[in-house]
Amino acid sequence: MTMSATADEKLLRALTALLGQKGIVTPDEIAERVALTDAASPGQGARMVARAWVDPAYRALMLADGTRAAETLGIPMRGAPPLGVLENTAGLHHLVVCTLCSCYPRAVLGYPPFWFKSAAYRARAVRDPRGLLAEFGTVLPDHVRVRVVDSTADYRWMVLPLRPPETAGWDEARLAGLVREGDMIGVTQVAC
């Protein structure tokens, strides 16, 4: 262990103790939040997408209040910024970016992929979204409008991708297995 790691650990312990002394948060609450964040994964968001594809009432809730929709499926959102959900359609494709840093809906998608935080991704998403999408293998017809949406510290976004038509009759678990992290950021489209 390096000396700076030891100093960082001491600082973290001191900060945690101070927060507890002030009655702001307990060490158990911090440990719970860390465990919830570590347990989050794109599978959480995929469950939400699959439910929205088979349940119109849930889809409406998800589009109106992503935070409540997540909590309905047992995904803890306490302490997280509000979650907005953007629906892709036959004529509109959403691409999520955080232009300032790496604001990401971790509660429903887990930790962001390394490229999401890169300056190159952030700049290209705004400057040349179709070119960026093509690099991910997503080539959209000319009539499809691309809308770039900025995730911020105050509001996080995820995408409700289009359901592939060949999945009619599939159950939620099978549908959730199709949905990838990139589909919920908008860099890819769900494929069978």
Task: Point out the residues that are catalytic.
Answer: 98, 101-103
Put residue 23 in one of left, alpha, beta given phi > 0 → left and psi -120 to 50 → alpha: left
Reading the block at residue 127, the tokens are 């400057």
Tell me the C-alpha distance between 147 and 28, whole Å.
Answer: 41
Q: What is the DSSP letter of 74?
A: T
Residue 91, token pair as written in the block: 């004529």
Give me the phi and psi of 68, to 5 degrees please.
-65, -40
Q: Which residues is 92 bridged to in the sheet?
A: 145
Q: Say how many C-beta atoms besides its own lie within 10 A of residue 81's C-beta.
A: 17
- Does the CA dihedral 120-43-175-56 come out positive or negative? negative
Q: Cβ neighbours of residue 54 under 8 Å, at least 6 residues apart?
A: 171, 172, 175
> 54 exposed, middle or buried (CB, 10 Å; 0-12, 13-18, 19+)?
middle
